[in-house]
Amino acid sequence: MGGRRDSQGEVDMNRDEENLRLLSIFHYVVAALSGLFSFFPLIYVAIGALMLCGRLNPSHPDPMLRPMGWMIIAIGTLFFLMGLAFVLCVALAGRYLSRHRHYLFCLVVAAFSCLLMPFGTVLGVFTIIVLQKESVRQLFGHASSSPPAAPSSSA
């Protein structure tokens, strides 16, 4: 019976490693899709540049277009950089999942991935579920999160 338990433990360990490998691949896919969508804010940067150059409404120049153009460029650039940072974090989480490193980072990125509907939500939820398993925590080198049982005393 002890041999069977060891065999079952190996099967569970192999299943956990396979789950982490698949999650890693899906993290790379979501990072690529997110990277593609992170370029959309550059449209705002282009519109802001057109406002600065006066090409948006050349027949009636408006003095308020210049500050508004700078504001739109700043906002577009900020969203673009935030998108790239998210892509980098998701790709790093995929790498760390495959190497069983940085458990907390992977968990936090999975939580933030839930905000990216629909693929990020599915990926984030499945990643959180897999990372909460005790056997996966052991793969990452984390001990049990439950406190040790207090010794009972009988009087």
Contact 133, 103 (CB under 8 A): no
Q: Reduce the DSSP state of residue 102 to 3 states and report it.
A: coil
Residue 148 placed within a domain: no
Residue 109 placed within a domain: yes
Distance CA 86, CA 143 (A): 29
Residue 132 placed within a domain: yes
Distance CA 73, CA 54 (A): 14
Neighbours of 17 (CB within 10 A): 15
Q: What is the pLDDT of residue 154?
A: 55
Distance CA 11, CA 96 (A): 22
Counting the structural domains of the chain, the total is: 1
> Which residue segment(s) compose the domain that 25 sits in?
10-139
pTM of the model: 0.78
Rounded to an integer, the average pLDDT of 59-85 is: 89
Does the N-terminal peptide bond of residue 118 adopt cis geometry, omega within 30 degrees of 0? yes
Write the CB contacts of 89 (distance below 8 Å, at least 6 apart in sequence): 109, 112
Residue 26 placed within a domain: yes
Amino acid residing at 102: H
pLDDT in tens, 39-68: 999 999 999 998 888 777 767 767 777 889
Residue 145 placed within a domain: no
Residue 146 placed within a domain: no
pLDDT in tens, 100-132: 999 999 999 999 999 988 899 999 999 999 999
Q: What is the pLDDT of residue 3?
A: 45
Residue 76 placed within a domain: yes
